Structure 1
Amino acid sequence: MSRRRRKKQTQQLAVAARLGRTAQVKALLRAGADPKKPDADGTTPLYGASVHGAASTVRVLLEAGADPDAESGHGDQGTPLCGAACWGHTDAVRELLAHGADPDLREDHGTGCSPLRWATQGGHEETAAVLRAAGASS
């Protein structure tokens, strides 16, 4: 596959993931798109899907090999679990945890907020409860 085609697929995958277009994400993955590759802004498809609460898309990306703990962005985003917890996307949080996301992993390379802190600060009690049940302690 050409470099230009890969770049286009990466961008298409990031947009489809962010919009929760699971069928399109599946098609792009079948065509060879890399679920781990960030777009030009540094956003991973998994982060985009997580922060927008697209739980079924999150599941597809994780099953395709996306890293549940990979930081996204160039210092301005965070981990998929922090993104989902911040907005109270409980189903996305469940998917991430079921696929091995660390419930205590702080963003910004360990110096930022934890998923539990994001959930509690946002008043997302159900999300916080799911994180605590998974072992989150901070």
Structure 2
Amino acid sequence: MKQRMRKKLAGRLVEAAMFGETGRVGELLGAGADPGFPDSQGTTPLYAAAVHGAAPVIRLLLRAGADPDAESGTGLSEGTALCAAAWWGHAEAVLELLDAGADPGRREDAGAGRSPREWAAAGGHPEIVALLEGAARPPAEAGRTT
């Protein structure tokens, strides 16, 4: 695919993801849009969907191969989709990302920024903090009862 077309599709995909347009996202992916390719501002489709809590779009992008831990933006302007969903308190989006393997302990900004739990706490979302803390437990402890 030519670079110009790839950029055009990326912009359209980020916009559709931002507005939760699941059908349009599916069409664009079918037309060859890369689920992990950022738009001209550096925003990834997954990040755009996470900010707006568009869980069905997140699910579609992840199934199409979007990296759940990819950073969005240029420099220190955005971050990971999980951090965005945590900050805004989008529980369903957080669960989709965790189910896809997003690392609940991963700090954004190449490790120098906040973790998803810190963003959830700063945003006043104790239910999201609890989801993230539950996901961060080692598997052996998660299933253990005392």
**Shorter-normalised TM-score: what interval?**
over 0.9
* Paired amino acid for 1:112: G
The Cα of 1:3 is off from its aligned counterpart by 3.1
How far residue 116 of structure 1 moved from its aligned partner, in angstroms, is 0.2
Query: What is the distance in 2 between the residues matched to 1:42 and 1:24?
Result: 20
Match in the other structure for 2:71: 71
Q: Deviations over 1:40-81 (max 9, x none)?
A: 000000000011100110000000000000000012000000
TM-score, scaled to structure 2? 0.90
Q: Read off the aligned partner of 1:120 and give its amino acid letter.
A: A
Equivalent position amino acid for 2:55 in 1: A
Q: How does 1:4-83 map to 2 (within 5 A)?
A: 4-74=4-74, 75-83=76-84
Partners of 1:78 and 1:71 lie apart in 2 by 5
Task: Supply the distance in 2 between the matched residues of 1:99 and 1:3 (Cα, whole angstroms).
Answer: 29
The unaligned stretches of length 5 or more in structure 2 are 138-146
| Distance in 2 between residues matched to 1:59 and 1:51, nearest whole Å | 14
Shift of 1:126: 1.3
Give, in angstroms, the shift of residue 125 of structure 1.
Answer: 1.3
Give the Cα separation in 2 of the matches to 1:120 and 1:2.
43
TM-score (normalised: structure 1): 0.95
Q: State the alpha-carbon separation in 1 of the partners of residues 3 and 136 from structure 2.
A: 42
Measure, in 1, the Cα distance between the counterparts of 2:107 and 2:4: 35
- Equivalence for 1:93: 94
Amino acid corresponding to residue 128 of structure 1 in structure 2: V
1:135 is matched with which residue?
136
CA RMSD of aligned residues (A): 1.0
In structure 1, list runs of 5 or more residues that go unmatched: none
The match for 1:113 is 114
CA distances 1:86-121 after superposition (whole Å, capped 9, x unpaired): 110110000000000000000100011000011011
SS at match of 1:8: helix
Percent pairwise identity: 58
Structure 1 residue 37: deviation in Å?
Answer: 0.3
Query: Rg larger in 1 or in 2?
Result: 2
Counterpart of 2:124 in structure 1 is 123
